[in-house]
Amino acid sequence: MPSVKLIKKQKIGSSYKKLYDKPTTPLMRLYNYNKNDCKINEYIKLKQRINSFELINRINKILDEVWQSRSIRVIMDREKERLKRVEDLLKKEVVYC
């Protein structure tokens, strides 16, 4: 996510005028700081190869599956608890002759 960095803060009367750099990603900031670092260059190449929309869709699909399986588990656990309470109530109400 691109963010801006404060370059200069100038006091004008009782207020301040702030001057910001243009928005850049942390990766691009690193690249601009040291362009000869091969590790940063590898990250740049990786970023160019990855389709971010496809990646987001894959992550969302996996998250949906996780939430759905969790929901099913929670529903089953609640149903087991409900059945246990019903059984307990039935055991209390059973009159033995």
d(C-alpha 8, C-alpha 51), whole Å? 36
Q: pLDDT digits over 31-82, tens only?
A: 888 888 888 888 888 888 888 888 899 999 998 888 887 777 777 888 888 8
Q: What is the residue range of 40's domain?
A: 1-50
pLDDT for res 90: 73
pLDDT for res 94: 58
> What is the enclosing helix (H) or strand (E) of 80?
helix 52-93
Find the farthest-apart pair of alpha carbons in the chain and give their distance in angstroms, rounded.
95
**Total count of domains within the chain:** 2
Q: Are residues 28 and 70 in the same domain?
A: no
Q: Are residues 65 and 36 in the same domain?
A: no
According to DSSP, the residues that pair with 5 across neighbouring strands are: none
Residue 88 has pLDDT above 80, yes or no: no
pLDDT for res 18: 93
Q: Are residues 1 and 43 in the same domain?
A: yes
> What is the enclosing helix (H) or strand (E) of 7?
strand 6-12
Is residue 74 packed enough to be buried (19+ CB in 10 Å), middle (13-18) or exposed (0-12)?
Answer: exposed
DSSP 3-state of 58: helix
Task: Determine what percent of the chain is predicted with pLDDT higher than 90.
Answer: 19
- What is the model's pTM? 0.43
